[in-house]
Amino acid sequence: HLLQSLHREGRAFAVVFRTFGTDLPRALRAVSCALAGQHPRFPALRDLALPVDLTLGRIRCSKREVVLTRGAERLGTQEGGRKLYDYFSSFEGIGGFQDHFDWWAKNQFSSRGGKPLWIDPHDPDLHHIFIDDNIRLDDADTIVHPQVFSERGSRNPRRTPTSELYNICLVQTNLLEAIADEDYFLRCVRKCEENYERYLACREQDAPSQQWDGQ
């Protein structure tokens, strides 16, 4: 429903699955079948010109760097996170990556070891939104490692508390609502868009970003 709604609104968007598990091949195949018109509830999905790349990507983290590989593609953060930000910003269609569970476990399941996400508030035409039921406001117990480029054009982002980007770029899925309400994810996206505009406005006014609660 989310894909169909965004397409109907004329949005330019991409969807990237990020999982610690081994379910990525099945998830991508299921979406590919749905977009081929094989979903009984959403046959109109066949009209979406949204390619699905079944090539499995991997993201591996260490103290030195984050390395992304997919097919022949290989990018790292030894020179900063800008290349990976640009990679995801130019992503097209639907694809997926397996993140580094062992690194998350090694970091006591904290933000520091979580799935890396890069945000550039100086690039207002792009909005990255990470939706996961394990996102929590407690950085000692959450699944995403958000990083923000504070300076325009900089290569090295700063580690960012979840609270700064909560309901802006980070959404903790309410699983019951997601099952019961087919508009749930669409409402999440719209709420994030509204909050992102306010977040950018606060930054332009040099308001302390730490005071933003995303509510």
Cα 103 from Cα 107, distance rounded (Å): 6
CA 104 – CA 117 distance, rounded (Å): 14
**What pLDDT sits at residue 23?**
95
Question: Does residue 160 fall inside a structural domain?
Answer: yes
184: enclosing H helix or E strand? helix 184-204
Per the structure, the complete domain to which residue 176 belongs is given by 2-204
In a domain, 189, yes or no: yes
Is residue 124 assigned to a domain?
A: yes
pTM confidence score = 0.91
Q: Which of 1-10, 96-105, 118-127 has the lowest mean pLDDT?
A: 1-10
Q: What is the mean pLDDT of residues 109-119?
A: 98
From its phi and psi, is residue 85 left (phi > 0), alpha (psi between -120 and 50) or beta?
alpha
pLDDT at 88: 98
Residue 93 covered by a domain: yes
Distance CA 176, CA 185 (A): 12
| Residue 210 within a domain | no
pLDDT at residue number 210: 44
What b-and-e string marks burial along 171-207, b requiring 16 or more CB atoms within 10 Å of the CB?
bbeeeeeeeeeeebbbebbebbeebbeebeeebeeee
| pLDDT single digits (tens) 153-211 | 999 999 999 999 999 999 999 999 999 999 999 999 999 999 999 999 988 776 444 44
Least confident piece of the model among 117-121, 127-131, 156-160, 203-207: 203-207
Q: Is residue 144 part of a domain?
A: yes
Domain-embedded: residue 197 = yes
| 176 found inside a domain | yes
Tally of domains within the chain: 1
